[in-house]
Structure 1
Amino acid sequence: MADDRTGSARGRGDEHADDRDEFDDESGPEAGQRRANPALTSRAAILAVVMCAIALSLAYPVREYIAQRKEIADLQRQEAAARRQVEILAQRKQQLGDKSYIEREATRRLHYCRPDVKCYIVLRGRGDDGRQARKDGPTRTPPWYETLWRSVEAADRPR
């Protein structure tokens, strides 16, 4: 079809007949005015609609992809933390299987003492830790509420 149209225009001896179809001639009734090209405007509108449709159709999958990647990264961090915890627990299990470790912990925490060893327990590390001397006898430890009240008063004093 395009060959017929260009052929007929060429047959008349006019090589630029297609260009004149888009614009008005100088000799036409509206000399000097250009016609609006509706094909270009409709093409641009269709292209814009297609681009918007593509953007809208890709927006949700891209958002889901990003959310899934974030979730995968979070799960990988949780997995690494769980693996570290498993390693710590495996070491702890190995320690608890060692008889010498259990003896040390029993001595340290529970104050157990083997029959052939002399053990000492120091109840208070400092010599005069809140003890008051009586006039006619040995020292005594003040009741807990006196110690509490003294600490409140000491905290209330300006430095």
Structure 2
Amino acid sequence: MARGDSGGTPRGDGSPGGGSRRANPALTSRAAILAVVVCAIALSLAYPVREYIAQRQEIASLEHKERVARKQVEELSQRKQQLGDKSYIEREATRRLHYCRPGVKCYIVLDGGGGNGEQKRQGGPASRPPWYETLWRSVEAADRAR
């Protein structure tokens, strides 16, 4: 009989009608090829995906920096507008530089603590003299040494 015949002839292994079927191995050649293709696709996509994630992080960082810069620009524009206001300049000159407009009586309180400053000086340890006294004493001491 012919090879494709499904007659009842033995095939050489002693079993009638086509013989015993081979046990299918766990990994066929098709499955191996499919696994290789899937691995190749995964490896070829790994680098672009990593770059995409890195670029998204960089974009988020740059957007945050842009928001901070815009906030600074807004604050600076408000500050510029304040500095353009004459009344604001006068208030700051009076407060910071102790300027006084003509005809206005201005007072400067040297000890911001009121009566507490003198009590602290009496009860506390001896304070250091001002820098100019220390400088003058060192000049006098240098003159005496000659």
Question: Which residue does the alignment assign to 2:32?
Answer: 45
- Matched position secondary structure for 2:93: helix
RMSD: 3.1
2:132 maps to 1:144: no
Work out which of the residue numbers 45, 50, 53 in structure 2 matches 1:63.
Answer: 50
What residue number does 1:112 align with?
99
Deviations 1:11-41 (CA, angstroms, capped at 9, x unpaired): x6x5xx9xxxxxxx97641647432558x71
Report the alpha carbon displacement of residue 128 of structure 1 after superposing the two structures with TM: 3.6
TM-score, with structure 1 as normaliser:
0.64
Query: Using the alignment, how far apart are the partners of 2:36 and 2:82 within structure 1?
Result: 69
Aligned residue in 1 for 2:115? 127
Rounded Cα–Cα distance in structure 1 between residues aligned with 2:105 and 2:66: 48
Give the share of equivalent positions with the same residue, in percent.
Answer: 71
Alignment TM-score, normalising by the size of structure 2: 0.69
Report deviation, 1:57. Answer: 0.2
One-letter code of the match for 1:114? R
Moved more, 97-106 or 109-118: 109-118
Question: In the TM superposition, what is the alpha-carbon distance from 1:61 to its structure 2 partner?
Answer: 0.1
User: How far apart, in 2, do the equivalents of 1:35 and 1:89 lie?
Assistant: 83
Structure 1 residues 97 and 26: alpha-carbon distance in aligned structure 2, compared to 1, 3 A threshold: farther
SS at match of 1:95: helix
Q: In the aligned structure 2, how far is the partner of 1:30 from the partner of 1:98?
A: 111
Are residues 1:34 and 2:18 paired?
A: no
Q: 1:88 aligns with which of 69, 75, 79?
A: 75
Structure 1: any 5+ residue segments left out of the alignment?
1-7, 18-24, 134-140, 147-159
Query: Residue 109 of structure 2: SS of its match in structure 1?
Result: coil
Shift in alpha-carbon separation, 1:26–1:75, aligned structure 2, 3 A: farther
Give 1:116 shift: 1.4
